[in-house]
Structure 1
Amino acid sequence: MIIHILYEPATIEQLEAMLEAHRFYIKTVVDIRLEILAGGGDMHSDCEVTLLDNGSYQDDLWGASWNPVTQDILYESMVNLRPR
């Protein structure tokens, strides 16, 4: 399972690696404060943990799934649920 932290647009190689877990979409979590994205892995929480380990704060993280063919973004992620 490969998770990339992206500070710039993804390369073709990075996109292909992130698509290994799910053939038609990429699980992503974005840190809106740092303006970085973690993508890949089996679940959104995999990306979330990667960003948290990298210094992100939970309040700044939002999850989505992205389909590179249709360019659709789905914001259905448990990462987005806030207990407040």
Structure 2
Amino acid sequence: MIIILEPTTSEKIREMAEPFFGLRIKLAVDVARGILAGGGELHFDCEQLLLDDGSQQENIWGADWYPQTKEVGFESIINIRPRQQNMTMEVRDLQLKARIEKIVRYLLEVM
């Protein structure tokens, strides 16, 4: 698992996608800091890495990056947050979803 602070390389993308045979990267995205952690087997592992780096839990959301199709997924157990009005695994707030996608694409969408 690694923390991505700036647009990354194809090599790092391949490395982070290894646990899922190159098909998916589990992510935790800090929407306040504009960074993400990826490459773990669970979103929770990525979330813990960001927490250890100083992120605040209410700013971290689970997502997935599908390198082959360049799609973002928004479902994770760590997204179930009744105190933040998110009652399901999927991020429901459209503005939050857009912010997560913008960060993921900026950092992982290698041209």
Same structural fold, with TM-score higher than 0.5 when normalized by the shorter chain:
yes
* Structure 2: runs of 5 or more not aligned: 84-111
Number of aligned residue pairs: give it. Answer: 82
Q: Percent identity?
A: 48
Query: Are residue 12 (structure 1) and residue 1 (structure 2) matched?
Result: no
Counting helix residues as a fraction of each chain, which structure ranks higher?
A: 2
Counting strand residues as a fraction of each chain, which structure ranks higher?
A: 1
Cα distance, 1:10 vs. partner?
1.5
CA distance in 2, matches of 1:80, 1:9: 24
Q: TM-score, normalised by structure 1?
A: 0.92
- The residue identity in structure 2 corresponding to 1:21 is P
* Structure 1: runs of 5 or more not aligned: none
User: Moved runs in structure 1, 4+ residues, more than 6 A?
Assistant: none
Structure with higher Rg: it is 2
Q: Please give the per-residue CA displacement for 1:15-70, whole angstroms capped at 9, x wherever unaligned.
A: 11101111200001110111101011101001000000000010000111110111
Cα distance, 1:83 vs. partner?
3.3
Q: TM-score, normalised by structure 2?
A: 0.71
CA distance in 2, matches of 1:28, 1:18: 9
